[in-house]
Every structure is written in structure tokens, then in C-alpha cells.
Amino acid sequence: MVKQERAARTRHALVKAAAVEFDRAGYEGTSLARISETAGISMGALTFHFRTKGELAVAVQRLGRSATQDVVTRVAAHPAPALQSVIALTLELARLLEKEASVRAAARLTREMPATTAATAWYPAWTHTVDELLEQARDGELRPGTDLRTVAALVAHLVAGAETHIRCRVPHTEHQSADAQLAQLWRLVLRGVSANPT
């Protein structure tokens, strides 16, 4: 029992260290030796728990998805108009990306691992809920005739932009947190940019 607990703790420490490394250096740039060093756990113990870098990457994606799903559950449980919930979810995701290496690593690994599937990728951990909320928002909240798939794609682009913002502070956004920036963008997107929309 104590032995099992110790093993679980070692596994968790390895996955946390791997998250930091994958977030910082990417899939190709991360080595098992470096993860072992960051975790302060021997290579022998590491390879006992994870035989390959790919196995560790999947464990990191799982950790990042799990933190993401907690946020999704929390936002979905909060009573609010559906479109407001979509916005709140994107702001929570921006905060989570800013705070959690495992979430940033999960997003990054989705881009960098060719073998990433819907079960391990980061986006599907939250986009299904966005789809459901948009379906609810269709009557009365969204402008009539708005295509739901296009709104869903816009949401995905904004969250991807927030991640980029966090990683490299794109121009005009240097002095804002990613979620404060996103809240401003939403105000613009809700009412529209054009003086003469066609």
C-alpha cells in the first residue's frame, strides 16, 4: 500500500516535470534524460514508469485535459445565458493556459505530435461543450442567421490566439493578461467591427 502510494507519487512528479519540459522545449526538444533531471528522479525509475517519451507525452496530455475538463464542468454548472458561458469558458481557458504548464504542454503537443488523436488532443477537451452552448444560444442570443460552425471556429481561433499571446506577447497585447485581452476582443466581436455591415 505504502509502496503503491510512493509509486503514484513518483509517477505524478515525473508527469509534472515532463509537462514543464514539453511546454518549454516542445516534443522534439525534450529528452527523457532532461525530464529525469528536472524531476530529480533517476533514469532507471523513470523508464520503469514510462518506457518512451511518447508515453510521457500522452500522460501530460491527459493531465492537461483533466485540468481543462474541471474548468469546463465548473463553467457549465454556473447558471448563465449560453453565449455568456461560452465567453466565460474562453476566459477561464486563457487563465488556465497562463497558470498551468500541463495545459500549455497539452496545447503545444497537439500541434507537435503527429499521432495526436481526438482522445489525447487538447481542443476536443472543451470544444464539444462550446458546440452544445452555441446550440442553446442559437435562439435569441446569436444574431439570426449566424452559422454555428463559424462561431465555433472563431472561438477556437481566439483561444489559439490567447495561447500565442501568452507565449510571445504579440504587439498591442504586451501589457495585458491573456484573459483581460480576450474579454476586450469579445466586446468587439459581439457588436461587430464594421460601420456598414453587409
**Cell for 46?**
523513470
Answer whether 96's CB lies under 8 Å from 182's CB.
Answer: no
User: Under the criterion CB under 8 A, does residue 184 sit at the interface with a second copy?
Assistant: yes
Pick 39 or 94: Cβ nearer a second copy: 94
Torsion, CA 156, CA 158, CA 159, CA 164, rounded to 10 = 120
End-to-end Cα, the chain, rounded Å: 67
Pick 41 or 162: Cβ nearer a second copy: 162
Helix 178-191 × helix 82-99 angle, to 10°:
150
Pick 48 or 140: Cβ nearer a second copy: 140
Cβ-proximal residues to 77 (8 Å cutoff; 6+ apart), any chain? none
Number of residues that bind a second copy (CB under 8 A): 60
Pick 2 or 188: Cβ nearer a second copy: 188
Among 8, 80, 119, 190, binds a second copy (CB under 8 A): 190
Q: Write out the binding residues for a second copy, residues 32-91 only, by CB under 8 A.
A: 83
| Interacting span for a second copy (CB under 8 A) from 4-12, 23-31, 47-55, 62-70 | 23-31
Among 36, 102, 116, 120, binds a second copy (CB under 8 A): 116
What span, in angstroms and rounded, lies between the C-alpha atoms of 187 and 166?
20
User: Under the criterion CB under 8 A, does residue 13 sit at the interface with a second copy?
Assistant: no
What span, in angstroms and rounded, lies between the C-alpha atoms of 52 and 11?
14
Answer whether 60's CB lies under 8 Å from 109's CB.
Answer: yes
Contact positions vs a second copy (CB under 8 A): 24-30, 83, 110-112, 116, 121, 123-124, 127, 140-144, 146-147, 149-154, 156-165, 167-168, 170-173, 181, 184-185, 187-198
